């Protein structure tokens, strides 16, 4: 079994994580970590890149007035725009 890694708490409350652990987790400077208190101590986890959302909130952003557009109409518009840009 590997020897436990240790670190020291600074006067500013900072902790340096051992390089081997940072490398293994791919935690580079600036990575945002969540700290959770557990029965056994503290748990560090990479914070999610985005806040969790409610699916209804996401769909609400997509609402637009008028009649919806079919997939065929979307494909035609994309092809027309691609052709326009290729002609520039």
pLDDT at site 65: 77
**Which residue did the predictor score with more confidence, 12 or 88?**
12
Distance CA(32)–CA(9), nearest Å, equals 19
Write out pLDDT tens, residues 36-68: 999 999 999 999 988 888 877 777 667 677 888
Beta bridge partners of 42: 37
């Amino acid at each position: 079994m590997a020897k436990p890694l240790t670190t020291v708490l600074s006067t500013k409350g900072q902790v340096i994580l051992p390089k081997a652990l940072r490398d293994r987790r791919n935690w580079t400077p600036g990575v945002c970590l969540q700290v959770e208190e557990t029965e056994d101590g503290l748990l560090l986890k990479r914070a999610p890149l985005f806040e969790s959302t409610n699916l209804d909130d996401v769909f609400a952003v997509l609402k637009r007035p008028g009649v919806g557009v079919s997939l065929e109409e979307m494909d035609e518009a994309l092809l027309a725009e691609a052709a326009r840009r290729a002609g520039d």
